C-alpha cells in the first residue's frame, strides 16, 4: 500500500519534470519502507521504466518528443549506466555523491538565470 | 561541439543513474535545453531518453539481485497512472515557469544527494 502511494506521487512529478521519478522513489523507500540503498535504487530503476513509457506516450500526443535527440543523450547514458552499477557494488560512493550534488546545484543556478 | 557536450552529459547522466538510482532525466532536460529544444520538448524527449538507460540499469542491477520485482511493478503501475496528470499540468504551464520549477527541483535534489552522502558516512 505504501508502495502504491509512493508510486502515485512519483508518477506525477516524473511526468511533470521529465525525470524518472527515482528522486522521489529512492528517498521515500529509504525513509518510509526502511529499505537499504542498493535495493531502493535498483527497484526504482525498474519502476521508472514503466512510468517513462506512460509519460512519453502523453508527450508524444502533444508533439513534444524528439526521437533523434533522445537517442543522442539516452544511448551514451545507457552505455555508462552499466559501468556505474558495477562501480556502485565496489565503491564507497560518498565523494561521488558530493560531486554530483555540487554539479546539480550549478545546473539549477544556470537554468534559473537563463 | 554541442553534440560532444550532449554525449558527454549523456555519459554523466548514465553514471548518475547507475550510482544513485535516478533515471538520468535530471541532466537530460538541461542538456536538451542547451541543444535548443524548448522546455516541453526537452521534458518529453528526456522521458524517452530515460528508457534505454533504465533498461540497462535494471538488467545490471537484477544480476546483483538488487531488484524487488513485485514492488517495482506496484510503484511503476501507480506512477504510470498519475504520470498522465503530470503531463497535463506541464502542458498547461508557460515554458519559463516550467524551467524555473525545474531549477527549484534540482536545488532540492542537490540537497538530498548531499544529505544522503552525509547519512551514508555515519
pLDDT in tens, B6-38: 888 888 888 877 777 665 788 899 989 988 999
Which domain range does residue A24 map to? 1-65
- Whether residue B80 and residue A108 make contact (CB cut-off 8 A), yes or no, is no
Q: Tell me what ipTM this predicted complex has.
A: 0.85
My answer on whether A48 and A98 are in the same domain is no
Q: List the alpha helices (DSSP H) in B64-94.
A: 69-92
My answer on whether A73 and A56 are in the same domain is no
pLDDT at B57: 83
Going by C-alpha positions, the residue among A60, A43, A56, A54 that lies closest to residue B80 is A54
My answer on whether A76 and A114 are in the same domain is yes
- Whether residue B43 and residue A88 make contact (CB cut-off 8 A), yes or no, is no
pLDDT at A93: 64
pLDDT at A31: 85
Report pTM.
0.87
Q: What number is the average pLDDT over the span A80-86?
A: 79
Contact A83, B71 (CB under 8 A): no
Among A102, A104, A106, the residue to mutate for chain B (most B Cβ within 10 A): A104
pLDDT at B49: 93
The set of residues, in sequence order, having a beta carbon less than 8 Å from that of B107 and lying 6+ positions away, is A105, A108
pLDDT in tens, B87-115: 999 999 999 999 999 999 999 888 888 88
| Alpha-carbon gap, residue B17 to A23, rounded angstroms | 10
- Total Cβ atoms within 10 A of residue B77: 16
B-contacting residues in A 9-28 (Cβ below 8 Å): 9-23, 25-27
My answer on whether A3 and A55 are in the same domain is yes
My answer on whether A4 and A25 are in the same domain is yes
Going by C-alpha positions, the residue among B18, B111, B41 that lies closest to residue A101 is B111
| Alpha-carbon gap, residue B120 to B122, rounded angstroms | 6
Q: Looking at A48, A65, A82, which one is the last position of a domain? A: A65
Q: What number is the average pLDDT over the span A47-52?
A: 92
pLDDT at B120: 65
My answer on whether A74 and A37 are in the same domain is no
Which residues of chain B lie closer than 8 angstroms to A105, CB-CB? 106-107, 110
Mean pLDDT (chain A) is 87
Please give the grid coordinates belonging to residue B20. Answer: 544513485
CB distance from A32 to chain B under 8 Å? no
CB distance from B116 to chain A under 8 Å? yes
My answer on whether A48 and A21 are in the same domain is yes
Please state the domain count of chain A.
2
| Alpha-carbon gap, residue B115 to A4, rounded angstroms | 25
My answer on whether A75 and A105 are in the same domain is yes
Amino acid at each position: 500500500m505504501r508502495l502504491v502511494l509512493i508510486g502515485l506521487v512519483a508518477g506525477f512529478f516524473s511526468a511533470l519534470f521529465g525525470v524518472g521519478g527515482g528522486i522521489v522513489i529512492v528517498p521515500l523507500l529509504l525513509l518510509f519502507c526502511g529499505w537499504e540503498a542498493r535495493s531502493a535504487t535498483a527497484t526504482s530503476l525498474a519502476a521508472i521504466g514503466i512510468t517513462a513509457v506512460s509519460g512519453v506516450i502523453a508527450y508524444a500526443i502533444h508533439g513534444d518528443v524528439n526521437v533523434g535527440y533522445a537517442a543522442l543523450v539516452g544511448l551514451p547514458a545507457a552505455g555508462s549506466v552499466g559501468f556505474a552499477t558495477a562501480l556502485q557494488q565496489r565503491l564507497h560512493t560518498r565523494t561521488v555523491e558530493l560531486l554530483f550534488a555540487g554539479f546539480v546545484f550549478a545546473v539549477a543556478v544556470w537554468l534559473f538565470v537563463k | 561541439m554541442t553534440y560532444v557536450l550532449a554525449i558527454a552529459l549523456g555519459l554523466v547522466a548514465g553514471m548518475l543513474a547507475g550510482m544513485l538510482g535516478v533515471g538520468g532525466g535530471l541532466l537530460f532536460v538541461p542538456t536538451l535545453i542547451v541543444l535548443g529544444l524548448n522546455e516541453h520538448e526537452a521534458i518529453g524527449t528526456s522521458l524517452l531518453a530515460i528508457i534505454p538507460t533504465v533498461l540497462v540499469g535494471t538488467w545490471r542491477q537484477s544480476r546483483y539481485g538488487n531488484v524487488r520485482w513485485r514492488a517495482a511493478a506496484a510503484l511503476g503501475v501507480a506512477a504510470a497512472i498519475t504520470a498522465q496528470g503530470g503531463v497535463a499540468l506541464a502542458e498547461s504551464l508557460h515554458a519559463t515557469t516550467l524551467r524555473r520549477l525545474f531549477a527549484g527541483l534540482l536545488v532540492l535534489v542537490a540537497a538530498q544527494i548531499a544529505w544522503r552522502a552525509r547519512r551514508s558516512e555515519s
